[in-house]
Amino acid sequence: MQELLSKRALNIAESATLKMSRLAQELRAEGHDVISLSLGEPDFDTPDYIKDAATQALHDGYTKYTPVPGLPELRSAICSKFSRENGLDYSPDQIVVSNGAKQTISNLAMALLNPGDEVILFTPYWVSYFDIVRVAEGVPIAVSAEINQDYKVRPEQLSNAITDRTKYVIFSSPCNPTGSVYSEEELLALSQVILSHEKLLVVSDEIYEYINFSGKHYSIANCPGMQERTIVVNGFSKGFAMTGWRLGYMAAPVWLAKACSKIQSQCTSGATAFGQKAAVTALEGERGPTRHMCDTYKKRKKLVRDRLNAIPGIKANDPDGAFYIFPDISYYLGKSSHNQRIENSDDLALYLLEYAHVATVSGSAFGNPKCIRISFAASDEQLIKALDQIESALSKLN
């Protein structure tokens, strides 16, 4: 009966991060102690003040359907956040709240792409951008930035990739999987390229906004002339440790917000009522827990980076945000151990899972087969143990 499946379903890949965690679980079921550094999930729990707000909302009767683009009080809290923290003015009809930023990004692809339309992905890209574009029958165009440019795309690279089929450009800053953060100057230079094309949009994924070690967060929407051309995507999963709540949002021109809301109305409707009430509290409440999480990630970044750079052949980048590091492991390609030859980053990630019992994600899932992604959303103890085991497994490759 498999032939009943659509080309759409057959053409997309299982999310590489979820696949790795499934393989890790299988090893665990066999009795192995596997350390998982593969998922993009904070190891912190949601702060209590946010949980309390959700409980209160449940008691207050927030148990019903919500307006598709979000509760009015959340949309207005999001507008206040943009104005207060980002210097960007939006009206509530420009905001659409979704069941996670992933749905926001998917709504955008469905709303903007006709078959064959191109989307430029700054590469390394977040794993789902690629397949979301394909589900919407668009064509993902990878523009690659290497470690020697801190994995950040240069304006001339962007310019060379634009064609008359390009609908939008998508990138995250702070970036998953590299942790790179585009500076104000870099964003300005990129915005010049965008603005030189009359009908080109940018989807700026800022979900790691609050996990920034370099100080202030800049959005490409802040660059002169860019607010009308930019869709800012954000959410609660990372900065507030709310992955399971499934809450994301975007700010966009009204015509596009309306189209995304229409698409969402036929797919899932509005996000959970009591979650949205708690999200208002998250945005308006104290940011102590968020700052604490960011400070902790920053310390762990140093630990992981120092350890990685001490391993022969590994070149680790220096992430300025998020909770990932994206070391270049190409030194190990072509080496063998246990009768296994490492041809690419997929092989290396599987080798580390099997012989170091550490789950990472192959860089090929993010468009760069010379790297692996290591998440440091784990305790110091786990990170130290994982790095000991990685070092020992790599030393056996020759």
Ligand X SMILES: Cc1ncc(COP(=O)(O)O)c(C=O)c1O
Shortest approach of ligand X to residue 61 CB, angstroms?
26
Is residue 217 a contact point for ligand X (CB under 6 A)?
no
Name the one residue in this structure whose structure tokens are 């020697």: 148
* CB of 107 closer than 8 Å to CB of 260: yes
Count CB atoms within 10 A of the CB of residue 59. Answer: 10
Distance CA 118, CA 106 (A): 15
Distance CA 180, CA 123 (A): 11
Shortest approach of ligand X to residue 216 CB, angstroms?
19
Q: What is the DSSP letter of 66?
A: -
- 321 vs 369, which CB is nearer to ligand X? 321
Q: Which stretch binds ligand X (CB under 6 A): 53-61, 96-104, 221-229, 390-398?
A: 96-104
Residues 260-299 close enough to bind ligand X by CB under 6 A: none
Is residue 179 a contact point for ligand X (CB under 6 A)?
no
- Which 3 state secondary structure label does DSSP give 136? coil
Is residue 101 a contact point for ligand X (CB under 6 A)?
yes
Distance CA 20, CA 348 (A): 12
Question: What does the CA dihedral 297, 174, 272, 241 come to, rounded to 10 degrees?
Answer: 0
Is residue 172 a contact point for ligand X (CB under 6 A)?
yes
Is residue 124 a contact point for ligand X (CB under 6 A)?
no
Count CB atoms within 10 A of the CB of residue 83. Answer: 12
Q: 214: buried, middle or exposed (CB in 10 Å: 19+, 13-18, 0-12)?
A: middle
Token pair in block for residue 144: 């690659």
- Which of 235, 270, 327, 367 binds ligand X (CB under 6 A)? It is 235
- Which of 42, 70, 100, 138 binds ligand X (CB under 6 A)? It is 100
Q: How many residues sit close enough to ligand X to count as binding (CB under 6 A)? A: 13
- Which of 147, 207, 257, 348 binds ligand X (CB under 6 A)? It is 207
- Which of 239, 248, 270, 275 binds ligand X (CB under 6 A)? It is 248
- 240 vs 355, which CB is nearer to ligand X? 240
Is residue 237 a contact point for ligand X (CB under 6 A)?
yes
Residues forming the site for ligand X (CB under 6 A): 40, 100-102, 126, 172, 176, 205, 207, 235, 237, 243, 248
